[in-house]
Structure 1
Amino acid sequence: MNEDYPKYFYKYRAVSNSDDLSKDYAIDALLRNQAIFSSRKNFNDLFDSSIELIKPTPREFKEIKSLVGKDDRRLLSECIHKGLFTPAGLALINGFEESFNETIDSYGFMSVSKNPVSNLMWSHYADSHKGFCIEFRSEFMKAEKVSYQKVIPKLNTIDLHRLHFKIYEGDDIGHQIWRALRTKLDEWEYESEYRFQANNAMGRIPKGKKFIKIPYNENFVESIIFGCRMQDDVKKFIMRHMPGTVKFKQAVARTSTVEIINI
């Protein structure tokens, strides 16, 4: 494993149903050893994993037509007339974009951080320090570092058409797409995020849904860190129901900083 790869990853969670902890969404998933993998459509950042799709030109379509077989050449001929896209051509292009977006929207991601003492993370994702943070052992998680930049990535969709017509290997476009799916605007850099994508064997998100729950081994968890403002009854409930191998820690407010201590 890369020596720069964090030893632990942290998942901040809010508690939203303090009246009935057994039915709280985050606590229920924690006690059942379930990780929540979200579609990009469920991300709180409007631009997270967004990709600006650059439409192909008629000239690029004409170049494809010269490289494909007779049946595909006939299809592509119906897409262009006098140097412009026909309604059939525009429908084909829009269909490719819709199919691409549906596929990407079905991918499940779990976002984690390498930083357990971020005041902003505790505030934004753990209900202003009233929630908790799961400390995962990173050896069990193939997460990749998120990149932060000023603008969202772009993708020339002509490469999707070349891939469809088997005149393009596709390795490079696959790398482009994966890089785009772990790119955020630089205003989010404080999150120190890593992103874990569920593979096909783990599951895809059904159309119309925004997330799936995927079980994990309880040994993947090193500890549960309680927020500075978490209520005592919530702490006791979690400690009473978690496996005995899991450690418990407490986030405490120091002068201008957050510190994690063992309890």
Structure 2
Amino acid sequence: MNSMANNRVLFKYRNCKDDGLRVLRERELWFATANTFNDPFEAETSFPDVLAAVWARKELPLNLKLKFQKALKESISTYGVCALSRARKNQLMWSHYADEHRGFCIGFKEKELRGEGSRIHAINIKYQSNYPYQGIIDRLEFFESHPSENSLQKIAGDIIHSILGTKYSGWKYERERRLIKLESGALKFEPKAINSIAFGLRTSEESKEEIRSLLSGKEWSHVKWYKAEKSTAKYSLDFSLLS
């Protein structure tokens, strides 16, 4: 893990309902399967279309195509993905994922979520209009020219990361960074993984008190608390530190 990752903070936007508070109550992040993503052009849903775009541009023997398709389909159905953002001040994120500014935003230390020797991978999403077929073609050609250095599973893994790491350019505002592991399900984290909580412009006092109470133990004493405020000079958010 490089030095930048050691200091990187990633943000998770939540509402103040039971499902949103579960992250804090259970001290866990959920890694979803690709077929549950909210964008129908993503991952498992677009998988056949991405491969169709690849096969239209790259000739492979039919038996090899079928092997790749089988390995890819089996793997992508089990991978777990947790979506976080590199942006805390994005108004659209607050509107879409934090109940129209009524929710809150958790700052996570990437280093603590992934841990030393972790098999959790992290990728910044690449936003573009086309399917990521060119990168996949490059990997297939490398496989063909260096068969002794690559296994079908390794190349399949690289291709899946390419698919999971690409979204339509209209989502660019999210500045998404994805954590990916081989299995879906919950990932437990230690209190030290959270470094901050920010309340939205419309977070109710009742919700603030409930969230504060969930993190009232001494193991949470390091957490910094913020509240969002409208900038007085432009259409943007500022954050003030709470005591």
Does TM, scored on the shorter chain, surpass 0.5? yes
Letter in 1 for 2:168: L
Tell me how far 1:167 sits from its aligned partner.
Answer: 7.3
The 5-angstrom pairing of residues 65-214 of structure 1 reads 93=66, 97=69, 100-140=72-112, 141=114, 143-154=122-133, 155=136, 169-170=150-151, 171-198=154-181, 200=182, 204-205=183-184, 212-214=185-187
Matched residues in 1 for 2:111 and 2:86: separation? 13
C-alpha contact (below 8 Å) 2:72/2:156 kept by paired residues = no
Number of paired residues? 213
Matched residues in 1 for 2:203 and 2:192: separation? 24
Tell me how far 1:262 sits from its aligned partner.
Answer: 1.1
C-alpha contact (below 8 Å) 2:15/2:103 kept by paired residues = yes
Tell me how far 1:174 sits from its aligned partner.
Answer: 3.4
Tell me how far 1:149 sits from its aligned partner.
Answer: 1.0
Letter in 2 for 1:191: E
The 5-angstrom pairing of residues 34-73 of structure 1 reads 34-49=28-43, 50-51=46-47, 52-54=50-52, 60-61=60-61
Aligned CA distance change for structure 1 residues 217 and 56 (closer, same or farther; 3 Å): same
Matched residues in 1 for 2:155 and 2:240: separation? 45
Tell me how far 1:126 sits from its aligned partner.
Answer: 0.7
TM-score w.r.t. the length of structure 1 is 0.70
CA offset digits 1:36-89 (Å, max 9, x no partner): 1111211111122344114869x8437xxxxxxxxxxxxx7xxxxxxxxxxxx9
Residues 1:234 and 2:234 aligned together: no
Unaligned runs of 5+ in 2: 115-120
Letter in 1 for 2:238: E
TM-score w.r.t. the length of structure 2 is 0.75
Secondary structure, aligned partner of 2:170: helix
Structure 1 match to 2:26: 32
C-alpha contact (below 8 Å) 1:47/1:152 kept by paired residues = no
Tell me how far 1:180 sits from its aligned partner.
Answer: 2.0
Secondary structure, aligned partner of 1:228: coil
CA-based RMSD: 3.1
